[in-house]
A and B are shown apart, each in its own frame.
Chain A
Amino acid sequence: MIHCYKLGGFNIVLDAASGSVHLVDEVAYDMIDAFESLTKEELKASILEKYASSGVTERDFEECYADIEQLISEGKLFSPDTFKSDVSALAKRDPVIKALCLHVAHTCNLDCEYCFAAQGKYHGERALMSFEVGKRALDFLIESSGNRHNLEVDFFGGEPLMNFDVVKRLVAYARSIEKEHNKRFRFTLTTNGMLLDDDVIDFANREMNNVVLSLDGRKQVNDRFRKTVGGVGSFDVIVPKFQKFVQARGDKEYYMRGTFTHFNPDFTEDLKVMLDLGFDRLSMEPVVCAPSEKYALDEEDKKIIYDQYEKLAEMMIKRRREGKPFTFYHYMLDLEGGPCVYKRVSGCGSGTEYLAVTPTGELYPCHQFVGNKDFLMGDIWQGVTRSDIRDKFKGCNAYSRPECDGCWARLYCSGGCAANAYNATGDISGVYGYGCDLFRKRMECAIMLKASEYLDEEQKDS
């Protein structure tokens, strides 16, 4: 399957099964687009007629036709999808767990109306994880990780810095045992910034591979939802703290992560504010909520969002050329060093190799299912006792949903997020169509950005 599209002045052809990306001129674009539906003679007549005034000759046609045939023979164009027949082998996962989302705090010092975690408490009681529970979770991870070397732990909440002492002790414990078990822990922290101070900054810059900082952009946008329990906006408190943190962070990884809703589908304006504040590693995510919520994105918003994604890509090209580049998480594609087909088919690993742990040690498929007892899988002492839930998640992959047949992006999204599917359809095997539409748009823009980078490099070299 191929996907042909025009964006940002580029004609792009993506070969879905091989992952090949081709930049083509108008003639080649039309030839590839009609290659499978017309005979060679029909195609020749069509092209020569359409481009007669442009001076395209029969020889031009033959040369381009030969180039297309060459790419087909190299498996880079119209390549057959051989993965579907191998899906049981490709999606087969070793029964290991390699990543935990540690909910060290089911409480929060902000009261964000749109929070999927229901103000950090996940529809339950306020709770902090004890060191003993966290320590057992780390032991459970090591015991369950088989021969995996790289292990990941995200400190999450609620607001994890409301339990900072436990976070520090858990990291120290993990560091003390990783060598003897031949493991390497990669820690991340997701914070609203309210409790960032010098102690946290020093610790995070020493121990955290990545830190996710929550800010929605413009002051009025951020403060619409991200308020204290007393109803005061957080912007003026968190921005100076984030600036201090990022300045001290050097070249270590962080993301300034915002949420956009029905009230700000023009989210590039928020990204501009983040850039003006000195942040250059950005992520903006569509709100996750029931469609009945007043801030839920709707069909009208979708057109605006498409336009915003394109604007964002143009903004990134412009700033890169001006020597002021920034990154946007969903546009970060590594065409040469991206994930293998096993990863692309099997997806994020939720419910199988990635689990969430509550403050009391319960196990859930991922952070978005925490609190929904239908998805309670076991605990860190007994392990996964609901293997039926694990099997259901194991069965979700890029080829498990009939709705994905015919979608060129299935090896980029791996069939999509199980939690989004569940929230939209009531079934993790469902499809969140709105999310699919936004995802495809993001991928088109991300690939276009790679095309732009490639041509800029080529021009520099010549």
Chain B
Amino acid sequence: KRIITLKTRNLNESKQNGGCGECQTSCGVANQKCEKASK
């Protein structure tokens, strides 16, 4: 096995299941969590 793919949230798919606006205001957007995706 020459390639290991880590498990990640697919950003393309998040177009369908994201956008609720309930996440924390970052002020580090990359360092934020999505409560729904983390469950």
Taking beta carbons and an 8 Å cutoff, which residues of A are in contact with B? 17-25, 27-28, 63-64, 67-68, 71, 75-76, 79, 82-83, 86, 90, 93-94, 96, 98-99, 101, 148-150, 152, 186, 329-330, 332-344, 347-350, 353-354, 366-367, 411-414, 417, 443, 446, 450-451, 454
Contact = CB atoms under 8 A, between A and B. Distances in A.
B interface, by DSSP: helix, strand, loop or mixed? loop
A347 B3 contact: no
A419 to B, nearest CB: 9
B22 A150 contact: yes
The 5 closest A-B pairs by CB, nearest first: A340-B18, A337-B38, A340-B14, A412-B30, A342-B19
Nearest to B25: A99
A257 to B, nearest CB: 12
A354 B33 contact: no
Given A64-B3, A186-B24, A18 B34 contact: no
Contact of A68 (B3, B9, B12): B3
A339 B5 contact: no
B17 A366 contact: no
Contact of A339 (B12, B32, B39): B32
A202 to B, nearest CB: 24
Contacts of A101: 27
Interface residues of B, number: 33
Contact of A94 (B21, B23, B30, B38): B21
Contact of B29 (A75, A329, A343): A343
Given A329-B28, A348-B29, A340 B4 contact: no
A27 B23 contact: no
A329 B27 CA distance: 12
A64 B18 CA distance: 34
B6 to A, nearest CB: 4
Given A18-B11, A98-B25, A333 B31 contact: yes
Contact of A338 (B19, B22, B25, B37): B37
Given A18-B11, A75-B10, A411-B11, A338 B2 contact: no
A339 B30 contact: yes
Nearest to B26: A348
Contacts of A27: 2
Contacts of B33: 334, 337-339
A90 B21 CA distance: 12
A418 B39 CA distance: 31
B29 A347 contact: yes
Contacts of A354: 25, 27
Contact of B18 (A24, A68, A341): A341
A90 B8 contact: no
Given A339-B32, A340-B34, A342-B19, A28 B2 contact: yes
Select the residue from B4, B22, B27, B34 with max chain A CB neighbours within 10 A.
B27
